[in-house]
Chains A and B, each alone.
Chain A
């Protein structure tokens, strides 16, 4: 869990939930639990009108399990014993939502629907107007706190997923391989942004240093767009390899890329570029004083 999450006491303070509030909720418990089966039924009538129902609850056994969980959820809610395990159970709900891909939209709408059912329930109780108002406010506070915890844990799961994915992406984005002694090859596929360019440069420089490479071929035939920014990144990578005593050859320049580079007026300076990988390998071998001969 992230370090910024608040504990039970801090959450209560944040939402202004006082012992008086929890007392009201606890007083409501018996009435609410008695009316809960009807409420859940009416809630499912509402849920059936949404497309999400058929996506997530088409299986009757799932539906039954979810309903049971809902009962225990509200039972815990009306027990109103806000402590670490209470917060944890709310977090679990958010995590489950994130894992099964239930949208926040339908969850928030669902909670709102439940809240309105509770408010309807309040109107059937013969308390004084003042007490009813206080109970309503207490209900609101508690439900909002629940919602925040669930939404937060939902978000953190989604963020974790995104971080993991971008890590995987970064890991596979720079496969620098040694194709001959002193000759490295890196085929680049996809888009080059500044972060990836930096990654390519760091990776390449380490590989040059460990493999004692004298030539480095950067194949950009798989790069979709070459604009000023990308060209500048490529120029920087070339300069860096030069400082490592390694010659960089950029191969796979398509006619379109060649045209854009000249039209954009990018000064490629002394960078060696070739149309295909074959020519680049020939140049590299020439530098290594080697030759490919047909037998």
Chain B
């Protein structure tokens, strides 16, 4: 399926990991497109080892955005892959906690390096 319209969230494949870098502020339409693209991508490539969401470019994430991202992660889970969130800013985390965001079951890291270590199962997850 070729789409004329594309989400502006680039997908990169690195060492078998799909890295999605979120740069702009999130909009619903964009996220929907992105969801479609990502799910197509991982189903097409059969040697994906993990998915990393790089959120370091986002200055603000509200609860709705966060839940949309969560939904995408849950969908990816259904396809049998693990998603790691990387690079959340302290201020973003602080506001998400204030908003009582549900973060159970999420895997987060500070940097891409650590995210790769988790994908390689070099770090024990608690």
Known: A212-B110, A287-B126. A236 touches B89 (CB 8 A): no
Chain A interface: which size bin?
A: 20 to 34
Q: Which residues on A are within 8 Å of B, measured CB to CB? A: 198, 201-202, 205-206, 208-209, 212, 214, 236, 239-240, 242-247, 269-270, 272, 286-287
For residue A195, give the distance in angstroms from its CB to the closest CB of chain B: 13
Chain B residues with Cβ below 8 Å from A287 are 123-124, 126
CA distance A269 to B104 in the complex (A): 10
Of A198, A208, A272, which one neighbours B90 at CB under 8 angstroms? A208
Chain B residue at smallest Cβ distance from A210: B90
A236-B97, A242-B106, A243-B106 are known contacts; what are 17 more A-B pairs with Cβ within 8 Å? A202-B90, A205-B91, A209-B89, A209-B90, A212-B111, A240-B94, A242-B108, A243-B97, A243-B103, A244-B90, A244-B108, A244-B110, A245-B86, A245-B111, A272-B126, A286-B124, A287-B124
- Are A245 and B94 in contact, with the CB atoms below 8 A? no
Q: Is B18 an interface residue (CB 8 A)?
A: no
Chain A residue contacts of B126, Cβ below 8 A: 247, 270, 272, 287
Give B87-105 as 1s and 0s: 1 = Cβ < 8 Å from A's Cβ atoms: 0111101101100000110
**Minimal beta-carbon separation of B62 from chain A (angstroms):** 15
Distance, CA A15 to CA B90, complexed state (A):
52
Residues of B within 8 A of A (CB): 85-86, 88-91, 93-94, 96-97, 103-104, 106-111, 114, 123-124, 126
Given contacts A242-B108, A243-B106, A247-B126, contact A205 B114 (CB under 8 A): no
Min CB–CB distance B94 → chain A (angstroms): 6
| Chain A interface main SS type | helix
Q: Which 5 A-B pairs have the closest CB atoms?
A: A245-B109, A205-B90, A240-B97, A245-B110, A243-B93
Task: Specify the chain A residue showing the minimal Cβ separation from B88.
Answer: A243
- A209 contacts B110, CB within 8 Å? yes
Q: Look across to chain B and name the residue whose beta carbon is closest to the beta carbon of A283.
A: B126
Q: How far does the alpha carbon of A244 sit from the alpha carbon of B90 in the complex, in Å?
A: 8
Q: In this complex, which of A206, A240, A269, A287 has the most chain B Cβ atoms within 10 angstroms of its Cβ?
A: A240
Are B110 and A246 within 8 A (Cβ)?
yes
Contact A242 B90 (CB under 8 A): no
User: Using Cβ atoms and an 8 Å threshold, which residues of chain A touch B85?
Assistant: 243
Known: A239-B103, A245-B108, A287-B126. A214 touches B114 (CB 8 A): yes
Contact of B96 among A206, A243, A269 (CB under 8 A): A243
Residues of B within 8 A of A272 (CB): 126
B111 to chain A, nearest CB (A): 7
Residue of A nearest to B100 (CB): A236
Cα–Cα distance between A206 and B88 once the two chains are bound (Å): 11
Q: Which of A205, A208, A236, A246 has the most B CB atoms < 10 Å from its CB?
A: A205
